[in-house]
Amino acid sequence: MKTRLLILEDGTVFTGTAFGSDQASQGEVVFTTGMTGYQETLSDPSFYGQIITLTYPLIGNYGINRDDFESITPAIRGFVVRELSEQPSNWRSDMSLDAYLTAQNIPGIEGIDTRKLTRIIRAKGAVRAILTEADARVNVEEVVAKLQDTAFITHHVREVSAKTAYPSPGRGKRVVLIDFGMKHGILRELNQRDCDVIVVPYNTTAEQILAMHPDGIMLSNGPGNPMDVEEGIETVKNLIGKVPMFGICLGHQIFAVAAGASSFKLPFGHRGGNHPVKDLRTGRTDITSQNHGYAIDMDSLKGTDLELTHVALNDGTCEGVRHKKFPIFTVQYHPEASPGPEDSNHLFDEFIEMMEIEAAKENQHA
């Protein structure tokens, strides 16, 4: 077995066993707390450019199957686990996690103290790091200097968004889904409700979207800082008040910024399938799936037409808003789960109902 190093920008070095690809890889190290769902996690486009640390100690025990991908091509830079299962046991398993990461040219490291790494991230925030083979030629001081001199990525969305528009036909409501790094779970939920979906790239203009005559617009999840997605913010600004909208994760942030709010970077983000969120409208608490490094500043909602609807019970941050005048609502978490609990799946039904109500209003005025 080959030895591999995980070197952090603060000079911390973890030594473990290599799996997956043999290539070196650099990225931002984050952690996620899900006990299951590693296949959905590694294929989630919201993890673009990141090295993922799994806090659950045993990973890979049910292998990789054909059904649980959230994108066709994973965008992660590396995978960090405490213990890798070399012999998966599950009737759906097609291959091992090691074999899959090797095929996708993604390096992994096992056998390190993931609790220590998680504590570093919680104390210092997401940090830049490199995965590299243990070699006498590796100069840790030079690697650390390089990491500290490397800027964080700012072009996440353009790398994971669809390049051209494409349909996912249905006979129900026409939904234009703006792809900021969409998980397939969102499209799946809309398809299950027979929506006639058109997926469009992140930089599609409001005029182009309105020309498709949508009944509603879905703003997808995605990676990175919402302030970097200038084209998406401009598009959403020009769509407010025109068509019902539903936003998820990055889509929630982009909408809130377009409506006058501001965002900020969380110390270490929310990633995992066990985050409690309270719906202020009903008092209901859902356990939610989350994956984001930025949030909307609740104080910045003052003076806007946005109303706070959901709050994270762990840290009190904004988890959802709705527009006071127009049929638009957004949430920071993932109601499509994948992975995680499906407590908030009902939000897709609320979106359908909202489109039906608006269609009925238009018919009355016709």
Distance, in Å, from the CA atom of 225 to the CA atom of 211, rounded to the nearest integer, reads 29
What amino acid is encoded at 318 in this protein? C
Q: Cα(240)–Cα(177) distance, rounded to whole angstroms? A: 15
The question of whether 213 is a catalytic residue gets the answer no
Q: Which of 252, 275, 323, 334 is catalytic?
A: 334
Closest among 291, 249, 251, 264 to 47, alpha carbons compared: 291
Q: Is 156 a catalytic site residue?
A: no
CA 171, 177, 182, 185 torsion-angle sign: negative
Catalytic residue among 9, 110, 189, 336: 336
Cα distances from 15 to residues 19, 52, 137, 196, 342, in angstroms, run 13, 16, 15, 50, 37
Q: What is the number of other CB atoms lying within 10 angstroms of the CB of residue 224?
A: 26
Under 8 Å between Cβ of 13 and 117: no
Copy the structure tokens of residue 23: 């290539």
167 C-beta neighbours (distance < 10 Å), count = 10
Using CA atoms, how far residue 278 sits from 251, 268, 310, 318, 331, in Å, is: 20, 21, 6, 10, 11
Say if strands 174-179 and 127-133 run parallel, antiparallel, or are unpaired: unpaired
Q: What residue type is 17 in one-letter code?
A: T
Q: Which two tokens stand for residue 238?
A: 């020009």
End-to-end CA distance of the chain: 71
Has 346 been annotated as catalytic? no
Query: Phi first, then psi: what are they for 62, rounded to 5°?
Result: -115, 15
At 40, give phi and psi (nearest 5°).
Answer: -65, -40
Active-site residue identified among 28, 110, 156, 249: 249
The label of the residue with tokens 């499906």 reads 342
Catalytic residues: 249, 334, 336
